Amino acid sequence: MRIEKYLSSIINKSRSEIKKDIKDGKISVNGTLIFKSINVDTEKDQVFYDGKIVEFQEHRYFLLNKPAGYICANYDRKHKTIFDLLDLNPNKYFSVGRLDKDTEGLLIITNDGEFSNSVLKPSKHVAKKYYIEVDKNIDFDIEKYNLPINIGDFVVKKYLFEYIGKNKCFLTIYEGKFHQVKRMMKHFNLNVIYLKRIEFGNLVLPENLKIGEWKEIDKKFKKHFAFLKLMLR
């Protein structure tokens, strides 16, 4: 197996990032630094990344209903992190993407770096659906709005609003720009006062998964990730 494929399946880095790390002398095999891609025998060869041995582990996937007040980081000295809620080793697991500190909802936790990097690629156009409450009533037909929305450093062209009532709506987006939902609502002079992610690709936040709770999910969900919704009950 090519070493960049092997490492990207274990650590949270893309194959292109691994290739750069190889050139930078961060990776060794059986005690010897390598500076170009090679094949490795995953059963026999010892691979080290930044001086630490990399060992294959079975890929596992968890769904967390993230509460507000926690940041999506493995470690932080000043803030509570999602790993304060999880009985998982933060050296081995990571979140697939991030939610803002004050945002609640669906978050995938895994040790599968290749899966994480794949679904986060902008070219994959993985849908992310949010429930939103804003600071005043939505007094226009937001569902019919389909013009590009300039959020400063990016123009959002593909999105879907669903009006619920008064100051509430759903929004589906296909990128993950910094504060994207909040900046999109600001375009309409609306300030987000509550934000919760309820869908990520084919995954739907279970109604019976309470805020702060988490559960392991079957890896079979990956096979259908881009094609259908898997309701987790």
Nearest to 97 by CA among 219, 191, 1, 180: 180
Residue 226 three-state SS: coil
Only one residue has tokens 């040790």, namely 111
Task: Provide the CA 6 distance to its chain's centre, in angstroms.
Answer: 21
On the CB side of 166, how many CA atoms lie within 13 Å of its CA?
Answer: 3
Residue 15 three-state SS: helix
Q: Which of 100, 102, 135, 139 is catalytic?
A: 100
Helices (H), the chain: 3-8, 15-23, 113-120, 180-186
Q: Which helix (H) or strand (E) holds 198?
A: strand 192-200
Beta strands 52-54; 159-165: pairing state: unpaired
As given in the structure block, the two tokens for residue 115 are 């899966």
100 among known catalytic residues: yes
| Backbone φ, ψ for residue 60 (5° rounding) | -130, 155
**Which residues are part of the catalytic machinery?**
100
